[in-house]
Amino acid sequence: MVRLATLLTCALLAACGGAAVLPQTSSAPELRLGFFPNVTHAAALVGIKKGFFQDALGSTALKTSAFSSGANTIEALLSGSIDATYIGPNPTVTAYARSHGLAVRVVAGATSGGASLVVRPGATLKTLASPGLGNTQDIALRWWLKGQGRSDVTVLPQDNAQTLQTFKAGQIDGAWVPEPWATRLVTEAGGKVLVDERDLWPGGQFVTTQLVVRTDYLRQYPDTVKRLVAAQVEADAWLNANPAGAQGAATDYLAELTGSKVSLAVTATAWSHMTFGNDPLPATLQASADHAVQLGLLEKVDLKNLYDLRFLTAVEAGR
């Protein structure tokens, strides 16, 4: 039993980038990248569709996986099924906390904004949906309800596509969702925006999507991670300089992923609710984590080692 416990401990440390020392190599044979099929993950959508990631990675093969929830994504990260992912702040903190600060590092930001509470006009707000228990929008909704003194509201975690259908059917009164789902609830289901989350943050800036890498992968393949970050910077620069082209690329890729194409007008409207940049806005992640703690959905965790921004600093400095 003692030997088995020792082996399990060593395996955990190796998976989380702890005591195990991994040899560094110039480049990884592959990089398995996760993302969500939402326009809040526009850097990933555009970076994959336009080839920015594969071009930057060179001989490293890029393999991509689309996820529908933060919970599934962090399970993939912690099990070593993916190497890096675009993901929201609250699932990131969950992965960090579950691994005692060992498993993941934030290497860049990607998106700010792009989340709203959309409701049916005239609804009394008894049942509201969020994308998943403890996810970024779920925490935002529950924190807002707490501030409003609305302990009588039921929060129903469900997939965003299901939320659109339950909203149309009148089974829920509203939902706090990321783009393009917020815009779709308005344009396709007659909803109205009650809260644009940007209005709740100083300067309207808060982290919605960031780029996270497994710590052991980062330590073993630092050159590959730097190339990944360079591709993120290039993708964000391109989509900011070419919004119409980026919106078209994102819309087309989302259609490939989901089998359903939204109009360019929906994408353009959703786009106007977001800003794209590489700053991970750590103060807003800390605030969101604090909200989760006060809501009883997260134990307090020290986030001092969560960020590793040396590659981002080097890329932005042209080094």
Burial of 87 (0-12, 13-18, 19+ CB in 10 A): buried
Amino acid at position 184, single letter: R
Q: Give me the mean pLDDT over the 280-302 stretch.
A: 95
pLDDT at 300 over 70: yes
4: helix, strand or coil: helix
pLDDT at 285 over 80: yes
- Kindly write down the DSSP assignment for every residue of 44-72, as one continuous string: HHHHHHTTHHHHHHTTSEEEEEE-S-HHH
Position with higher pLDDT, 26 vs 282: 282
pTM, two decimal places: 0.88
269 in the Ramachandran plot: left (φ > 0), alpha (ψ -120 to 50) or beta? alpha
pLDDT tens readout for residues 160-192: 999 999 999 999 999 999 999 999 999 999 999
* CA–CA dist 314, 319 (Å, integer): 5
Amino acid at position 5, single letter: A
The residue written with tokens 């925490």 in the block is 139
pLDDT at 127 over 90: yes
pLDDT tens readout for residues 138-157: 999 999 999 999 999 999 99
- Spell out the long-range contacts of 266-271 with Cβ–Cβ below 8 A and sequence spacing 24 or more: 266/180, 266/183, 266/184, 266/187, 267/39, 267/180, 269/183, 269/187, 270/39, 270/114, 270/179, 270/180, 270/182, 270/183, 271/39, 271/42, 271/179, 271/243, 271/246, 271/247
* CA–CA dist 7, 92 (Å, integer): 27
pLDDT tens readout for residues 68-112: 888 899 999 999 999 999 999 999 999 999 999 999 999 999 999
The residue written with tokens 């994308």 in the block is 131
The domains located in the chain, with CATH, are 28-112+205-316 (3.40.190.10), 115-204 (3.40.190.10)
Phi, psi of 71 (to 5 degrees): -60, -45
Q: Give me the mean pLDDT over the 53-68 stretch.
A: 96
Find the helix or strand (DSSP H, E) in which 31 lies: strand 30-35
